[in-house]
Amino acid sequence: MLILVTYDVSTTDAAGRRRLTQVAKKCVDYGQRVQNSVFECVLDSTQFTKLKHELEQLIDDKADSLRFYNLGEKYKTKVEHIGIKTSFNLEGPLIL
């Protein structure tokens, strides 16, 4: 299933800037950055639960926010892209 992860981390202090970096790195482990604070992640339900838990441990819920959008298995008909930043096939082979 495709999960869209968005976050807003307060960066008014050093701790917030550190949290922002940690949240971004954790999201990179699971998916592709499509905007500054937006990631597309193709996950099964176990991976999604794990990602959500790991991100919850990183943020300050009094200053930061996380949003998860579950676009399901048929996400290809629900995502439309216009503009310069193209994406790669989320389910294709990853070549490093």
What confidence tens digit (pLDDT) does each residue in 19-75 have?
999 999 999 999 999 999 999 999 999 999 999 999 999 999 999 999 999 987 777
Of residues 2 and 92, more confidently modeled: 2
In terms of Cα–Cα distance, which of 3, 13, 5 is closest to 75? 3
Better-scored residue on pLDDT, 58 or 87: 58
Residue 83 is predicted with a pLDDT of 77
**pLDDT at residue 79 in the model:** 74
Per-residue pLDDT band at 91 (split at 50, 70, 90) = low
Question: How many Å apart are CA 94 and CA 57, to the nearest integer?
Answer: 28
Residue 72, beta-bridge partner list: 2
| Single pTM value for the model | 0.80
Residue entry with tokens 């193209």:
86
Q: What is the CA radius of gyration of the chain?
A: 14
